[in-house]
Structure 1
Amino acid sequence: MDQERTSQEITSLVGREVYSNNGVFVGEVDDIKLDLGTEIVTGLALRDPNEELFGADVRGTRGVLIPYRWVRAVGDVVLVNDVVERLETPEEEGEEVVA
């Protein structure tokens, strides 16, 4: 029925820029994480993530995966909750980092 239309809508997310509610650039959608059993989008794989948000740990990586539940709106760009701006690394929280 609408499976073809739905798949086109999902793939249209690829390439869109992702911003927080506050207008901070987060990254660009590179791929979609999909639960095949339920056919529900569960995450967005972002390329070129904002190093100021995610720290130097993302340097040299292919990107980051954010939960789809953080998505607030999809239009010309994807808007996500500002929770992404409040991410802290274990060092910032005072926890020991285990390598």
Structure 2
Amino acid sequence: MDETPEKITTLVGREVYSNEGVFVGEVADVRLDLEDRQAVTGLALTQLNDELFADLVSGQKGVILPYRWVRAVGDVILINDVTLHDVIEQMTQPNKDDAEDALA
């Protein structure tokens, strides 16, 4: 397996799917932690799946998924379905700690 590092900009434009094959959105940008870990910490998604987010992100441009929820990166990015439910739950219950990360 090729362990050559890729530029993080290669994530931009990739489609994000649940591990069940449901389209979630497209990566528009990445959130970086340049101080502590010097790593990608989140993916900003746009072009969201209307069936999943229409009632939840009206007036919002997209959502930010914590990168720890990503399960695989290849031609597309896969996240767990449980993660998708967490995002929707966070958006409907703003008292949770990650709620601010979920909305962009």
Task: Please give the TM-score of this superposition, normalised by the length of structure 1.
Answer: 0.75
Distance 2:31 2:78 in 1: 17
Alignment length, in residue pairs? Answer: 85
* 2:21 match: 23
Residues 51 and 58 of structure 1 are in contact (CA less than 8 Å); yes or no, is this contact kept in structure 2?
A: no
Partner of 1:47: 46
**How far apart are the structure 1 equivalents of 2:69 and 2:31?**
14
- TM-score of the superposition, structure 2-length normalised? 0.72
Structure 2, unaligned runs of 5 or more: 94-104
Contact 1:17 1:77 in 2 (8 A): yes
**How much identity, in percent, do the aligned residues show?**
62
Moved beyond 6 Å, runs of 4+: none
Q: Alpha carbon RMSD of aligned pairs, Å?
A: 1.8
* Matched-pair contact (CA < 8 Å) for 1:53–1:84: no
